[in-house]
Structure 1
Amino acid sequence: MHFSLLPFLPHSPPPPPTNSPSSLFSCIPPPSSTIHSPSLPLSCTPSPSLFSCTHAPLPSLFHAPLPHHSPLLPLSWHPGSPPPPSFMTLSLFRRHGRGPPLPVPLPPRPQGPLLHRPPPPLPSSLPPATRPGSPLLPHEGPHAARGGGGCGPGYAERFMTSAHDHGCMTTVYALWLDARAPIDFQVIKQATSIMYRKLPHLRMSIGRHKGKLWWREIPREAVDVEELRSDDVLATLESLLRRRYRMEEGPLWFTRFVPLQGEDECVRDNNHNLKYKYVCLFGFHHNVSDGTTNMKFCKVFLQVVNDLLAGREVDMRQEGVFATPLHDQIADDASSQSYLFTIFLKRFYKGILSYGAYVRNFTHIYRMPAENIASTRVLHHELDEFTTRNLLRRCKMEGVTLNSAFTAAANLTLYQMMASKNHSLDETTVNSLQAINMRRYWPKDAQPNTFGCHISMLDVGFDTRRADLDGFWEYSRGVHSSLVYQLTTTQHPLKIQPISERLILIICSNSWLDWAGLPSTNDNHYTVTNMGDLTHTFPGMGDEVEVSRVLRSVSCVPCHAVPAHAADLPRPLLLLPRLLHAEALAGDGHHVRPGHHRPPAEVHPHAQLT
């Protein structure tokens, strides 16, 4: 199961194919000497978290400062506004089915070093304001920003690339748009084309160079944008999670525009202004993006759409850099081979050899389905603004982050589900995977405006007892302390980075088990992904169009989390939002048991999984 909590913005497998370019065992990491600090850096400032938590001899696509063709026109937002409410999505995974077709073979690509390719011309359909007189986004020389003469992907990027062969790691974001006037599909097409130029990672594909995986810039504009008609946005999102990408040809992302139908097509807001409703769905391959990158994309896209609708000049400067994963080099220096070998053996036993022993406390009660259907399902629940504000305030007063409180709620919810079927269960262990933004380990000046897949996974188990149901905040503080210890003292997510790509072995084994008609093996009950506090990073406001809701999910079938029968679990899993709602509204948030109060200033910033 995969849990994510995002802000609700205030508006009121077959066996691995042999022809894949992403075979794990032929991926040899480049020498560490080719990894250098980027010349442009993106900041991660500590804040309360909300879920869904080389310098080259010549300038290049990834890091060269670009000429300013026009002034930047920022999004409109309201400083000092109250924290937005939030909503939560719970994705359920069923066992992967047999017999899906193999990916379409990719045509061969020419091999050899990546040479200079001038940027494609802007389409003639773009308004004159988006066609500055000077060349757009010039790139000179080979792709040298991620190592001299080009660079292969990092550890996490190789894992995500390999996972794609098994139907995993496709991320889909949905933005509900409220517009003052009808939006023509041509505006969305123009905005998508502009995004291709403004964000460097959107111009990337992945191929091979001398037998190794290698990043390539797509030689000509490649955008995938369509208009869809749908009465069920969630069903459309779930279907898009099954989409496969042409890894060598690109693009590794897409845009889908859905005008809402019927009574949702046009409504009046609290001020009786007419609002036209649309949904934009964006898909991203996880090897070129993470949550931080994707929310930056959403912010820039909304700004571009507002500029086009208002007839303003669009700022065509490139946003940020497709950054080197600096944490890979830091991890190489910090981890010994003996440590990595020990951790690998432990994870190999837990994830594969134990054959699901670490989650059997759950799977022997909620058994896997008999039918062979692979799917990622989304359950959608929202916390209103009042509840969210109280929950954030209570977390600060109790000395925990929202990520810790959410993890505690997930643990207790799963315990309640197990105890409801096994009344003698007084204590059990819940195993969790936590997605970590690895920019936290970078130098501060290297963090701002960096795009790419810069994450790692922290595996941690939590002992959960029946008595914890009556002491939620005390239990949350224990969860918080455990996460802080792993992130700051042991720095476990950083040290295991060199073996992170080997997690593909769990996905491969599950793919083969499914092919043989056997249950899959997993070692964690759920995964938490944390988007950070989006109050300022994505305010969602604009003069012509604004965002009223954000939803995201990721395809994880088959992956290293407990598969569950969707028909059996939706009602029990609603215990999680109910638990958070109850704790947020318990009392007035100002009274804490003696001996347990810590002022908000003492909340440890490193506990933020942003």
Structure 2
Amino acid sequence: MSVDGGDAAREAPGVDGPKWLRPVGLNETFFETFQSRGMLITVYWFTLRSAAPLLEAHVRQALLHLFRKVPPLRMCFRKREDTLWLCEMEEEAIDFQVEEDADPKRVAEEVMNQSYASHDGPLWRARLIRGAAGEDCPSEELRASFPHTSHLVLGNHHGIADGTSNVMTYNFLLRILNDVIAGRPIDDQEQLGEMVSNDELKKMVAVKLEELEKDPENLQRLVEEKIKYMSGSPLLLQCYPSLEGTDVKTELLIEELDEDTTRRFIQRCKKEGVSVGSAFTALVNGATIELAKRAGRTDETFKLTEIHAMNTRRFLSGDASKHLGVHITILTNSVEAPAAWQESFWDYARTLHHSVHSKLKEDTFLIEESATEAMLSIEGFVESMLATVPPPSEDCQTSNMRNLDVYFPDAGEHVQATRVVRGSSNYSAFSGHFFHTFRKRFMYTHCFSSHIITEDTAKALNQVIFENLRALS
């Protein structure tokens, strides 16, 4: 196993304790703090088709091989003196259960809202669901060759893996499961990916921050802009007040487009010179405006703020394709949208697209990261941030994994995934939008905070999004 922990000491496992890897980073600390409160926990729900009914023993064996071969799945968090460290579990353990005739969506919501025992691990869990109604496969040929449907729900502590790590890991799982069913030997010493720290990125940010500190007035302006954004009030919550007295929980609403609608939407985006991610974000914002108008708002324009999960591997030197762990940051974006947004949708979508993609340039990204670093250096700021859950400030949060087929290239002769639903329980956001394509279909999950907005409001938002998507395609 390869572990990048800078100059941190490493100790081999033995009778005296676990294998200490390195002190945790800020992102890992953040995720660890809030997962203990049932927040920021990721979930993936796979619909599987198999040539024969999946056996519990086969799935359990595949999960055990996965534990041995994928470094993040062996991680736990422990205090060492006054410092939180990442370390390997002392014993092999997997959290796996089989449920018969259960609702996979309900199971996914349970997994997404249930915390982990960070000190001992494991920091991930798996639930195999058999007997539940399945989704149709994309082709008659696949249905004939793989007639048996089951569902696999997988969750994890966000401090050990981001979306890219997860889809890589679950591709490994499907490969291993096919090998187990086929009776092929599996080398548990071979490690699938590396648990890598964020040291390189931290150095890049430190260099940029040192440069910005030469103009303290500009740096102070950047910090004040971030703090101002964090105190904002989302448009939807201005019109539909937050609920009170309900349990903190994130629930799922799932939409899926057929192949034809997916193709037409993607082609229209290309024709208009807009990425699918930008166009869909513009649709989410437009739907938010529409609900605000229904509630009586008469503004001529609206300025909504969205935050986008961004994969930071793109900024690292060398080949980062095997980097597992947490390599993400949040990109904030805000542009003016007209109240009559449908009439000039593609113009608005292009404006949003240009704004987001200009910020993806390395220098702009590092400036934002440096401003965040400066904000976090304010005395007591981190402690205050970790101690409380702030009220929502952004209008939406997006996670776009684009085409997941890239991560699942192997067909699999015994079992294949035909549908992937993914999401995460919310932290400060009240509305998380997760989308990607898989097997030529656009798949979307709306993770909404049911303790903040009602299910009816969340469903109304979805309805407006997809009515306009179809009309604009």
The TM-score bracket by the shorter chain reads 0.7 to 0.9
CA contact (8 A) 1:331 1:497 kept: no
Q: 1:340 to 1:159 in 2, by over 3 A?
A: farther
Partner of 2:116: 245
Query: In 1, distance between residues paired with 2:187 and 2:260?
Result: 37
Q: Which has the higher helix share?
A: 2
Partner of 1:334: 208
Query: In 2, distance between residues paired with 1:422 and 1:177?
Result: 45
Query: In 1, distance between residues paired with 2:465 and 2:429?
Result: 22
3-state DSSP class of the match of 1:246?
coil
5+ residue gaps in structure 1?
A: 1-59, 65-111, 120-140, 144-149, 511-519, 585-610
Q: 1:477 to 1:504 in 2, by over 3 A?
A: farther
3-state DSSP class of the match of 1:490?
helix
What are the within-5 Å matches in structure 2 for residues 168-567 of structure 1? 168-261=39-132, 264=134, 270-271=140-141, 272-273=144-145, 275-316=147-188, 317-325=190-198, 326-336=200-210, 338=216, 342-351=221-230, 354=231, 357-359=232-234, 361-422=235-296, 424-443=298-317, 445-488=318-361, 489-491=363-365, 492-496=367-371, 498=373, 505=384, 508-510=387-389, 521-539=391-409, 541-557=411-427, 559=429, 563-567=452-456
Query: In 1, distance between residues paired with 2:331 and 2:382?
Result: 12
What are the within-5 Å matches in structure 2 for residues 118-133 of structure 1? none
Which deviations, in whole Å up to 9, do the C-alpha atoms of 1:111-147 show, x marking residues without a partner?
x96521279xxxxxxxxxxxxxxxxxxxxx976xxxx
Query: In 1, distance between residues paired with 2:46 and 2:462?
Result: 25
Query: In 2, distance between residues paired with 1:200 and 1:236?
Result: 26
Which deviations, in whole Å up to 9, do the C-alpha atoms of 1:181-209 show, x marking residues without a partner?
01110111101100011111111111122
Q: Which amino acid aligns with 1:487?
A: L
Query: In 1, distance between residues paired with 2:288 and 2:4?
Result: 45
Matched residues, percent identical?
Answer: 24
Structure with higher RCO (Cα < 8 A, 6+ apart): 1
Are residue 576 (structure 1) and residue 465 (structure 2) matched? Answer: yes
Q: Which amino acid aligns with 1:550?
A: V
Q: Which amino acid aligns with 1:552?
A: R
Q: Which amino acid aligns with 1:509?
A: T
Shift of 1:341: 5.7
Query: In 2, distance between residues paired with 1:210 and 1:370?
Result: 40
Q: Which of 448-457 and 163-172 deviates more? A: 163-172
TM-score computed with the length of structure 1 as normaliser = 0.66
3-state DSSP class of the match of 1:579?
helix
Q: Which amino acid aligns with 1:321?
A: E
Q: Which amino acid aligns with 1:575?
A: V
Q: 1:323 to 1:427 in 2, by over 3 A?
A: same
Are residue 115 (structure 1) and residue 11 (structure 2) matched? Answer: yes
What are the within-5 Å matches in structure 2 for residues 137-148 of structure 1? none
CA contact (8 A) 2:31 2:159 kept: yes
Q: Which amino acid aligns with 2:388?
A: S
Partner of 2:439: none
Partner of 2:3: 62
CA contact (8 A) 2:107 2:153 kept: no
Query: In 2, distance between residues paired with 1:381 and 1:417?
Result: 19
Q: 1:158 to 1:423 in 2, by over 3 A?
A: closer
Aligned length: 435
Query: In 1, distance between residues paired with 2:155 and 2:227?
Result: 31
- Structure 1 vs Structure 2 CA RMSD: 2.9
Query: In 2, distance between residues paired with 1:310 and 1:442?
Result: 38
Shift of 1:63: 6.4
Q: 1:559 to 1:267 in 2, by over 3 A?
A: closer
Query: In 2, distance between residues paired with 1:558 and 1:260?
Result: 36
Partner of 1:3: none
Query: In 1, distance between residues paired with 2:410 and 2:459?
Result: 30
CA contact (8 A) 2:62 2:177 kept: yes
3-state DSSP class of the match of 1:168?
coil
3-state DSSP class of the match of 1:532?
strand
3-state DSSP class of the match of 1:364?
helix
Partner of 1:99: none
Q: 1:506 to 1:366 in 2, by over 3 A?
A: farther
CA contact (8 A) 1:171 1:285 kept: yes
TM-score computed with the length of structure 2 as normaliser = 0.84
3-state DSSP class of the match of 1:295?
helix
Q: 1:497 to 1:286 in 2, by over 3 A?
A: farther
